[in-house]
Structure 1
């Protein structure tokens, strides 16, 4: 009988031990399951913080565009973000080319700004203007180089000097070159005479003018830039390269073609070269041509090439056209182009052949100086023709 009781106690002890082990295993598995279904803990850093809305008008306009085009910024309001201010909703019903009356209240010193600035701010959102003169087939032969020259209607002599010198269209150094001149509209309000008759004759004679129906002014050069990029995308997207310049610069077309022909293919896609300006800030003196008030823009400018002229690839021109829709118009066109490049993650490259601030005056009459340069600013129509005659002279010896 004692043996039976002993066996029973041993059996009970074994069953109890098995039960305890079972409970421990189940508890451990449950703990692991709970650990596996826990929500991922987000680090408590503030990397994706919402920015502070700027007090300057252009910066706020750019912040709004960033909201539209940057999906990272399309967040839901939480306690961690400062959500949209009320003034942002006022733009929803605003037609882009109607006067933007918000500027009266949002730009504190609006009434004291120069008239050109007031006009720019009122129509800063407008990007669409009808084309008056077009050359839709000028690039049918897929040009190697497109010379796109900013000009004004009255500058007949400059355009003709360019046609007779460095802007000669056709076959240059066995490469196809096409030249177009970019014009806006001139009005009596800006004290321009009516030159429409002469312009019509010029169009018929040369077929190289592009004109849009907007007021051709210094602050509207940015409009000229965006309208050209749109035109390029529609009518000249097969051009390999673009030289964009003013009508008072001298350009060594031979040197451009030599430079591009010897350029490694890997560098052509993102090519953008010129006389690059870095670490520049807005001028705050209202007496200066490039004056930008703090009420309109704060911050430093991105690296940009001087607007006298710069060279870039046709493929980059197409991307600049697209990205320009994501950058608020700025009243200085070369700075604006630098902003568009930055939006693409690119930086313009400085090239010693671009002299937008001219060369030393003692070298002005030296033909060999121009032979090794790409662009010099500025030259009169007579000087352009003279310099070109030096360069095409077969007896010119610059050894």
Structure 2
């Protein structure tokens, strides 16, 4: 990968923040967008803005072709068996909520179990909490090891014949842990449960094959993979989606509407009520084109190199506490950390004064923060446009932060 050539596609990176060249290390929250994605969205609005599926005029046909063409790109990107298994949503959160509200309500009964982990993002905890309360089900957690990983032995001990849904993230947005989803899915299926995968931190960074994983549902967001905000995907096996009821009702998702009853369109449209996210889908299609041109395997290898480099350099900073697996081969391209006696928000503020953007807070993972016995952490997350030189800037900023607060206190 020619990183400097890749960076030329991202105009936002060519600026100064607080008098310093921008170092953007917050891609786990949202990634930056290449010119091709920005232009794809702009071209839709400038050239063929129209609603999809309904009109027979030329603009409507072009918009429909763009929208459904993006669905085929997503199908190929994750290797779904058919475009019927690709539902466009607002993002990972909406996708998971759809599964909980539709599949969960229809299949979970009192005394049944839903299995998740302590490392989950709030969007993969709260929907299951609410479903468990509504149905009188039991919410169970696979325990974490000291390094923030889970073992298949613990997975087998937690999942039982009463388990109906297993919902686990493929990559932790805090710890960087890469979970063995294929093996967990096999255990879930052996016990008669379905597997819901939160792929928000995986799809942007590595090749996904939902048929190889054999998962029942897979969710991800466009904005974390150089695409627009407000667009995401729910993949579901056709047999499940066909049996599930929609959770939003209105135009576009209907077949026939009578005075007292209605019927639904076939897949995938029965889950896409109202005017869909047309520009977002077209932008997501352009994002997939960009990532595939670079190569997902190249992106993954580059991020592993950055993670290894960051772990080595950051570990040398006095008072540094790094969370998650210490072996770079076991983690994705992010490092979550704290510095002794310095609040993470103060760390992020000092780094921002140096033009370095990192995330600070609980990262929508308060149960994990409690498990780590901290109130908050700072996080540097890397993507295809980051460099070792930017990590050097980060480390220098962390040293400066440590020295500043040592002088103050």
Higher relative contact order (CA 8 A, sep 6+): 2
| TM-score strictly above 0.5 | no
Query: TM class, shorter-chain normalised?
Result: under 0.3
